[in-house]
Amino acid sequence: MATIISKLKITGSPSPPPLDGNHILQFFEVGEESANAGPGLVWRVHDAYRKSDGKECSVFVFDKRVAEKLYKPKRRETMIERIRYSVIQLEKMRNPKMLQIIHSLEESNNTIAFASESVLGSLHNILAWHEMESITVNGLPPVMPYPLNLGPPGSPLPSPTDSSMRPPFAKEYYFIDLELRYGLLQIIEALHFLHYTVRQIHRNICPQVIIVTKRGTWKLFGLEFVEDITGPDPTDMVPVAPWSIKIAKLCQPNLDFVAPEMQTNAHCNILSDMFSLGLVICAIFNSGRSLIQANNNPILYMKQMDFLEQQVDAVLPRLPGGLQEATQRLLSRDPHPRPTTQLLPLIKYFKCQNEPAIQAMQFIDVITMKDPSQKTNFYNAVLLEALPYIPKKLRWQHIWPALQLEVRTAEVLGPVLRPIMWLTNDATHEEFENHVLPTLKIYWNLMNSPKNLEASVLLLESMHVIFKKCQKDVINDELMPLLYSSMDHNSNQIQTSCMMGLLNVTEYIEEEDLHSLLLGKVKTVIEKNKSDVKVISLTLGFYEKVLGRLETSDIVDYLIPTILAMRLSDPDIINRVVKLYKAILMEKKFGLTPDTLATQLIPSLAPQTINPGLSIEQFTNLMEVILYDMLDNIDKNQRHKLRMDGRGTGSPDRHRALRHQMSNENMIAPPFNIPNLRVEKRKTSSAEDMARKNSASGPSPISGIGAFKNRFTLGKGIGQWFFGSSSTANNDNNFLRVGNASPNRRLSDNTLMTPKIRIAPSCSSSPGGTPGGNSSGLPTRRHSSIGPQERRASAVNLSPPTGGSMPNTSSSVPYLLTSSMQSIRSRRPSCASGSASAQGGSGILQQISSGVVRHLPIGSHHSMQAQVHAPLGVLQNATAAGYNALQQTAMAVRKCPSLNITLTR
């Protein structure tokens, strides 16, 4: 209000307006004259504001002294009566497309006045500026009318540039395309209301009766010459008086925009108004010049009407493409081709890509007639979608005034704030300070009201948008205190919105406020919402942003207690807490003590290690923080403290290995000892050495008893190898000695031999031992696909092989049973060379072994010797084939390079 008053005083005229004695001055503060309008521009428009609420408005004043210039008193009274009637009718209509009257007529001896919505001027005022400036359209000079004294059509008129020759109150105002489209559509709708609802013909459609408000909307005015429609069809002709020079021009319509049937046939209908509208369209796009300039002369009017079609063809290229055909039909001399107000809005020009913008602007014009639910839907959806299509000029000129009025309506305070925030984000700093900031301060005063919860939430969440446009002093003096005080609100929604707003404006927080005020408030908010995942997430985000600005005391006194107050259950929240702890531990300036880690942080995280919702990555992060960051920190600090206290200097290697000690390179396997197992040094040999050794150990002639004794010794050895010996006279004689037949063997030759193994028969638990006896077990087979150090147990006990490699030993050898022996005999039929004699010899050897099994108990050593020597005579008298088979069998066993079996008594 103060701004409006100052403008009125500064720009006001030195002499007061001619309103002396008019009662309208009791209600309005009237300023200088700013425009004129109406037939003959008889209405003087003054800027004003209403004293009761400071509403900006305009006051229209008619000076009765103008009517005194008329010669006949009767006509003077008729004119004044028409003036009164037009205002009264306009007030009764209260249509948003007509000029809105906010205060009815007030009359004094010299003046008639009324107040209306704030007016920029008439369309005539704006076009007068364009006309005198000779503004070209699309680079072409304006099309001139054809008066008798100005030559042929197209002849340019003089364009005076002297300001003294300009019409009074000419407005330097430029229309944009959307503004023109929407303005014309408003006049069409106003005529539609007048023709089909009020059932009247306007008769004086011209720029003088089209009012442009300060919001940029076009309103219809000037009902002084209206005619009622008497017939059922609005297109029926109504008789009217033609324009005459015998009557004062103030008492007749504007001749330059009159339809030809009114002048030639003395009748009109609603299509006559459409012809006048066509002339208005041409004047708009022809730099404000009408195609007819009769100079209040009916004869000149009729002469120019003969060239109207040529004038229209010349001006059409200046019109938008979608409007050319409709304008050509509007200016037809025959009324029937002219489109009505029902058809004209349907043309392509009014149905373009900017239609959402036009619809939004149309709704804004009638927003005061809508209920709160309709307003809410419009502000939340329709207007937000249309704002990008509305030019910035119309946003502030047309949309913003309506939003300002809605701020005072509590029912839609929240929804209307959404488009306000959109405009704020798109505004310049100057636009924000001039338009938005004063309106937002109204919100700040209403935030504590329970009815405005939605608006408060939205305002707090949009703080970062407001901060970008405000000056620093406004932020520190008004916005920050508002944000801090809202954190103490009891509503969970307000507190959540405060945390969201705080998270978005952390860079504007002063250091003093952060340490002394804000951290404590954040802790209080978490204590009230310890289970609210959204509040917890916002709080963690806040700490993540300000962590670098905190001190050790802030961490210990606020951050850690705040996190400990949270109920950690959500996996994402747990993972963020883990990362925050890790960031704190990596900052040396914080220096968390082992006591804090051991008594606060680890106990809060340890239960989450069994949280079933954690992913493998989240679990790994959690364990790394506990084991490698926290426990490592405790170990380092506590060990140093113990050493400084003189409580021992033990090596860390004696204690549990930490992270740096758990590497594969630093892990040493403990020795594995098998009782009563002796492993001789392994010898290897190359493939060539092994081949020579095998050749050297080939079969040699055996003859006589000595040879047989050797073979008997071999048989005895095989028996002891299979069944063990009960002799304990000499420990060395009770061990199975396996020699490596290929020393220094390369791994790549796949003939790497096992070391010599001695197994004590007295250990029943040793590998290969039979339960209940002091026997030695058999080696198990080594799989060819694994290395020499890897052993796997075999399901079957195999007899000594005849190949060049030695079987592996295993940690577990199955017990040898009779059924196993049968399996061995069936699996190893080719111990010799595969001949029939060899098979026979093998059978004799098997009979010897089986005889020992059947006739001798294993437990008696002397009985064993007797039974072994008993078959000697039988063997001496054996057939040659059997002897040769036995010899070949012994030779086959002797050839085995993998076994070096020596059995001694």
Q: Specify the pLDDT at position 769.
A: 45
Widest Cα–Cα separation across the chain: 178
Mean pLDDT of 185-213: 95
211 touches 219 (CB < 8 A): yes
pLDDT score of 126 more than 60: yes
Least confident of 68-82, 235-249, 368-382, 603-617: 68-82
Q: Specify the pLDDT at position 866.
A: 40
Q: At what angle do helices 861-869 and 704-723 cross, to 10 degrees?
A: 140
Q: Specify the pLDDT at position 670.
A: 60
Residues 499, 506: Cα–Cα separation, whole Å? 10
Q: For residues 654 and 875, which has the higher predicted lDDT (pLDDT)?
A: 654
pLDDT score of 639 more than 80: yes
Q: For residues 837 and 404, which has the higher predicted lDDT (pLDDT)?
A: 404
Reported as a single tens digit per residue, the pLDDT across 267-282 is 999 999 999 999 999 9
pLDDT score of 110 more than 50: yes
Supply 685's token pair: 């040999």
Q: Per mean pLDDT, which of 126-130, 164-168, 271-275, 655-659 is the most reliable?
A: 271-275
pLDDT score of 294 more than 80: yes
pLDDT score of 333 more than 80: yes
Q: For residues 796 and 462, which has the higher predicted lDDT (pLDDT)?
A: 462
Reported as a single tens digit per residue, the pLDDT across 222-260 is 999 999 998 889 899 999 999 998 888 888 999 999 999
Mean pLDDT of 835-854: 42
pLDDT score of 24 more than 50: yes
pTM strictly above 0.85: no
Work out the pLDDT band at 491, boundaries 50, 70, 90: confident
Mean pLDDT of 38-66: 91
pLDDT score of 795 more than 80: no
Tokens 């006048």 correspond to 276
Q: For residues 39 and 812, which has the higher predicted lDDT (pLDDT)?
A: 39
- Percent of the chain at pLDDT > 70 equals 64
- DSSP letter assigned to residue 213: E
**How many CA within 13 A on the CB side of residue 595?**
2
pLDDT score of 204 more than 50: yes
Work out the pLDDT band at 449, boundaries 50, 70, 90: low
Supply 513's token pair: 């406020």
Q: Specify the pLDDT at position 351.
A: 77
Q: Specify the pLDDT at position 801.
A: 46
Angle in degrees, CA 603, 609, 615, rounded to 5? 145
Q: Specify the pLDDT at position 536.
A: 93
pLDDT score of 262 more than 90: yes
pLDDT averaged over the chain?
75
Q: Which of 335, 279, 307, 297 is nearest to 153 (CA)?
A: 307
Residues 430, 150: Cα–Cα separation, whole Å? 49
Please, which residues have CB within 8 angstroms of residue 92's CB and are 6 or more apart in sequence? none
Residue 209's CB is within 10 A of a number of other CB atoms, namely 30
Supply 57's token pair: 């408005």
Q: Specify the pLDDT at position 350.
A: 87
- Estimate to the nearest angstrom the gap between the alpha carbon of 740 and the chain centroid: 73
Amino acid occupying residue 623? M
884 touches 837 (CB < 8 A): yes
pLDDT score of 821 more than 70: no
Please, which residues have CB within 8 angstroms of residue 566's CB and are 6 or more apart in sequence? 526, 530, 536, 539, 573, 577
Q: For residues 695 and 225, which has the higher predicted lDDT (pLDDT)?
A: 225
Q: Which of 455, 406, 402, 466 is nearest to 432 (CA)?
A: 466
pLDDT score of 865 more than 70: no
pLDDT score of 378 more than 90: yes
Mean pLDDT of 355-369: 87
Residues 846, 715: Cα–Cα separation, whole Å? 10
Residues 60, 35: Cα–Cα separation, whole Å? 9
48 touches 40 (CB < 8 A): no
pLDDT score of 609 more than 80: yes
Residue 159 backbone zone (phi > 0: left; psi -120 to 50: alpha; other: beta): beta
Q: For residues 840 and 640, which has the higher predicted lDDT (pLDDT)?
A: 640
Q: Specify the pLDDT at position 243.
A: 92
Reported as a single tens digit per residue, the pLDDT across 657-688 is 555 455 555 555 565 565 555 555 555 555 55
Mean pLDDT of 207-235: 92
Q: At what angle do helices 880-895 and 704-723 cross, to 10 degrees?
A: 60
**How many CA within 13 A on the CB side of residue 98?**
21
pLDDT score of 458 more than 70: yes
Query: How is 619-635 classified by DSSP, letter by letter?
Result: HHHHHIIIIIIIIHHHH
pLDDT score of 834 more than 60: no
Q: How far from each other are the two terminal CA atoms of the chain, in whole angstroms?
A: 129
Alpha-helical regions (H) of 152-220? 177-192
pLDDT score of 883 more than 60: no
Q: Per mean pLDDT, which of 274-283, 475-484, 506-515 is the most reliable?
A: 274-283
Q: For residues 766 and 619, which has the higher predicted lDDT (pLDDT)?
A: 619
Q: Specify the pLDDT at position 168.
A: 75
Mean pLDDT of 103-115: 92
Query: How is 38-102 classified by DSSP, letter by letter?
Result: SGGG-EEEEEEEETTT--EEEEEEEEGGGGGGSS-HHHHHHHHHHHHHHHHHHHHH--TTBPPEE
Residues 239, 227: Cα–Cα separation, whole Å? 9
| Sign of torsion over alpha carbons 757, 761, 767, 769 | positive
Q: Specify the pLDDT at position 668.
A: 57
Q: Specify the pLDDT at position 317.
A: 93
Q: For residues 279 and 11, which has the higher predicted lDDT (pLDDT)?
A: 279
Summarize the chain as % helix, strand, coil (round to 5). Answer: 55, 10, 40
Q: Specify the pLDDT at position 642.
A: 84
Q: Specify the pLDDT at position 638.
A: 85
Mean pLDDT of 9-19: 46
The alpha carbons of the chain give a radius of gyration, in whole angstroms, of: 57
pLDDT score of 361 more than 60: yes
Buried b / exposed e over 23-53, threshold 16 CB at 10 Å, is ebbebbbbbbbbbbbbbbbbbbbbbbbbeee
Least confident of 20-24, 179-183, 382-386, 509-513: 20-24
Least confident of 335-339, 441-445, 475-479: 441-445
Tokens 């061990």 correspond to 735
Reported as a single tens digit per residue, the pLDDT across 727-768 is 444 444 444 444 444 454 454 444 445 555 554 454 444 444
